[in-house]
Amino acid sequence: MHFEYSSASSGIDKVFEPSAETSYGAFAPPGVMTHYGNWLRTPHHTVHWAGTETANEWAGYIEGALQAGERAAQEVLEGLA
């Protein structure tokens, strides 16, 4: 599957920022995810956090965002049962 990059929607001009097309967005200094990772994933009342920053693996990548979304959806389903 191929998706076209649109700088108009992101406000990034890839001519001047060539790495924008291949960069990932989540990053943290060493030790942050080890120390706070579980806390970031912990639901707060009815709020379940999902996003690449809360992934168990591949944080910062689309794979991490998908994994985190599946995890949060499973938490919600378990809460409804």
List all residues 6 or more positions away from 65 whose beta carbon is below 8 Å from its beta carbon.
50, 51, 52, 55
pLDDT digits (tens, 9 = 90+) for 8-27: 555 554 455 555 556 566 66
pLDDT given at position 23: 59
pTM for the whole structure: 0.64
Could you confirm whether domain 27-80 is CATH 1.10.10.1620? Answer: yes
**DSSP class of 44:** B
Report the alpha-carbon distance of residue 64 to residue 62 in Å, rounded.
5
Q: Which of 23, 81, 57 is nearest to 70 (CA)?
A: 57
Q: Which of 45, 40, 43 is nearest to 26 (CA)?
A: 40
pLDDT digits (tens, 9 = 90+) for 22-50: 656 666 788 888 888 888 889 999 999 99
Q: List phi, psi (to 5°) of 44.
A: -120, 105
